[in-house]
Amino acid sequence: MTNRFLSIGECMVEMAPTSDGTFAMGFAGDTLNTAWYARKLLPETWDVSYLTAVGEDALSDNMVHFLDSAGIDTSLIERRADRTVGLYMIQLSEGERSFAYWRSESAARCLAANAEALQGKLDRAGLIYFSGITLGILSVPDRHKFLDAVGKARSNGSTIAFDPNLRPRLWASEEDMCAAITEAAGFSDIVLPSFEDEASHFGDGSCEETARRYAAERAGLVIVKNGPGNVICLQDGEMTALPANAVGSIVDTTAAGDSFNAGFLAAHLQGKSLALCVEAGNRLASAVIGQRGALVDVVEHV
């Protein structure tokens, strides 16, 4: 296996309101956030790569440039002449944020269209990371191709990490979403759910129940995040509860889970113990929620 952290999904253009009534353009997406933090945390001996599809237009060029300048490898990104990148806009009303999306025709939805090319891109990656959003943007046939490719990569020795990141609006029904997420957990070595989402869509009564449900799909390691609550870990039948960090003031919880995953996985890839991996996840996430935005420059403090 190679020292490659390969994150797969959709990066979108973000238009965020500024104090003077205009909008500032940025780039964001759950799997991108994790890749971005993993790049900051992993030593140079690790390559962090982002796999998605974008257009051939100037906006897509900008996105790829943004990834390049963050030190993320973009060589696996497919360019499509027929599509462009997705976009979302944040609206602020009395301090509450709401989101409008233009992503239904985004290039990223085609990232698994060519099964053979996809398989080649996964080949020999030390860690492959994806989320329920990665699955939710794919057509049903492409989702099958995607999981098939992940399954083959796993048999060839890659470690597979998956965050269910449940987003009902990406799915035809809650039932479809839960079935696909459960199936994907069966392809994964490490599952990193967030309890609140799991409780609302799977009806779990506790973090332990969430952990057992995914472990039953044969995920060897399940790490259940629960905001300020304990992180519950289930590994080879052994359940452990580890406390989250105490956080003074919470400014913006965007990317809490994504950054936790980066902290956890970067430590895991460096052979740290389970307790140290959770500590690294908590440390990064608690620093991220102390500042505004998804991608914040906190790594020197963690």
Position closest to ligand ADP via CB:
257
Q: Does 34 bind ligand ADP (CB under 6 A)?
A: no
Number of residues forming the site for ligand ADP (CB under 6 A): 20
Q: Does 194 bind ligand ADP (CB under 6 A)?
A: yes
How far apart are alpha carbons 250 and 92 in whole angstroms? 18
The one among 26, 186, 227, 293 contacting ligand ADP by CB under 6 A: 227
The one among 76, 225, 269, 296 contacting ligand ADP by CB under 6 A: 225
Least distance between ligand ADP and beta carbon 289 (Å) = 6
The one among 138, 202, 282, 295 contacting ligand ADP by CB under 6 A: 282
How far apart are alpha carbons 263 and 270 in whole angstroms? 11
The one among 63, 118, 280, 285 contacting ligand ADP by CB under 6 A: 285
189 part of the active site: no
Least distance between ligand ADP and beta carbon 127 (Å) = 19
CA 146 to chain centre: 16
How far apart are alpha carbons 62 and 59 in whole angstroms? 5
| CB nearer to ligand ADP: pick between 200 and 253 | 253
Closest-CA residue to 142 (of 192, 180, 102):
180
Residues facing 27 on adjacent strands? 13
The one among 206, 228, 251, 292 contacting ligand ADP by CB under 6 A: 228
* Residue type at position 35: A
Q: Does 40 bind ligand ADP (CB under 6 A)?
A: no
Q: Does 31 bind ligand ADP (CB under 6 A)?
A: no
Least distance between ligand ADP and beta carbon 91 (Å) = 20
Which candidate in 61, 148, 258, 297 is catalytic? 258
How far apart are alpha carbons 156 and 193 in whole angstroms? 25
Stretch binding ligand ADP (CB under 6 A), from 66-74, 172-180, 198-206, 224-232: 224-232
Report whether 17 contacts 245 (CB < 8 A): no
Identify residues 229-268 at the interface with ligand ADP (CB under 6 A): 231, 244-245, 247, 250, 253, 256-257, 260
HSE-CB of 295 using CA atoms within 13 angstroms = 20
Q: Does 33 bind ligand ADP (CB under 6 A)?
A: no
User: Which residues are known to be catalytic?
Assistant: 258
Write out the residues near ligand ADP by the rule CB under 6 A.
194, 196, 225-228, 231, 244-245, 247, 250, 253, 256-257, 260, 281-282, 285-286, 289
